[in-house]
Structure 1
Amino acid sequence: MAVALGLGLPQTRQYHLGRDIPDVARAAEATGYESLWVFERILFPEPARQGLYGVDGLPWPDHYRGAADPLVTLTLAAAATQRARLGTSVLVAPLHGPFQLARTLATLDAASGGRVVAGLGTGWSHDEYAAASVRPFEERGRTLDEVIAVCRAVWGPDPVSYDGDITRIAPSVVGPKPARPIPVLLAGSSRKAMTRLVDHADGWLPVAAGVDQLRAQRRQLEDLAAERGRTRPIRTVLRANARHSARAHENAGRRPLHGSVDQIVEDLAAYAATGPDEIIVDLQSTLRDAHELQDVATEVYEKARAAGI
Structure 2
Amino acid sequence: MATRLGLSLPQMRQYSIGKDVPDVARTAEQIGYDSLWVFERALFPEPATQGLYGVEGLPWPDQYRSVADPLITLTLAAAATERARLGSSVLVAPLHQPFQLAKALASLDAASGGRVLAGFGTGWSVDEYAAAGIRPIEERGQVLDEIIGVCRAVWGPDPVVYDGSITKIASAVVGPKPARPIPILLAAMNKKAQRRLVDHADGWLPVGMGAEQVAAQWQALQELAEERGRKEPIQTVLRVNTIRLPKAYDGADRQPFQGNVDQIVEDLAAHAQIGLEEILLDLQGTARDAQELKDVAAEVFEKARAAGV
The two structures have a TM-score, normalised by structure 1, of: 0.99
Partner of 1:93: 93
Q: Which amino acid aligns with 2:58?
A: L
CA distance in structure 1 between the partners assigned to 2:62 and 2:38 by the alignment: 17
The within-5 A match list for 1:47-86 is: 47-86=47-86
**5 Å matches for 1:245-260?**
245-260=245-260
Q: Where does residue 169 of structure 1 map in the other structure?
A: 169
Q: Percent identity?
A: 71
Distance across 1 between alignment mates of 2:193 and 2:139: 14
The amino acid of 2:93's aligned partner reads A
Secondary structure, aligned partner of 2:209: coil
1:286 aligns with 286
1:148 alignment partner AA: I
Corresponding residue SS for 1:254: coil
Structure 2: 5+ residue stretches without partners: none
Matches of 1:228 and 1:286 in 2, distance apart? Answer: 42
User: What is the identity, as a one-letter code, of the residue corresponding to 1:176?
Assistant: P
Stretches of structure 1 that go unaligned for 5 or more consecutive residues are none
Cα distance in 2, alignment partners of residues 278 and 65 from structure 1: 29
Q: Which runs of 4+ in 1 moved over 6 A?
A: none
Tell me which amino acid in the other structure corresponds to 2:80.
A
Q: Within 5 A, what are the aligned runs for 1:159-308?
A: 159-308=159-308
Query: What TM-score, normalized by structure 2, do the two folds share?
Result: 0.99
SS in 2 for 1:238: strand
- 8 Å CA contact 1:94, 1:133 repeated in 2: no
Instruction: Assess if the C-alpha contact under 8 Å between 1:48 and 1:127 holds in 2.
Output: no
Paired with 2:133 and 2:118, the residues of 1 have a C-alpha distance of 19
Q: Deviations over 1:199-241 (max 9, x none)?
A: 0000000111121211121121111111101121101100000
Aligned to 2:150: 150
Q: Give the distance between the partners of 2:275 and 2:47, measured in 1 at CA.
A: 40
CA distance in 1, matches of 2:61, 2:133: 22
Q: 2-side partners of 1:58 and 1:225: how far apart?
A: 34
Q: 1 CA distance for matches of 2:50 and 2:272?
A: 33
Question: CA offsets, 1:101-149, max 9 Å, x none?
Answer: 0000000000000000000011100010010041111110000000000
Q: Is the CA contact 1:24–1:290 (under 8 Å) kept in the aligned structure 2?
A: yes
SS in 1 for 2:285: helix
Corresponding residue pairs, total: 309
The residue that corresponds to 2:122 in the other structure is: 122
Q: Does 1:104 align with 2:104?
A: yes
2:248 partner SS: coil
After superposition, the CA RMSD in angstroms is 0.8
Write the distance in 1 (CA, Å) between the matches of 2:265 and 2:64.
25
In the TM superposition, what is the alpha-carbon distance from 1:251 to its structure 2 partner? 5.0
Q: Give, in whole Å, the separation in 1 of the partners of 2:185 and 2:26.
A: 25
* Alignment partner, residue 131 of structure 2: 131
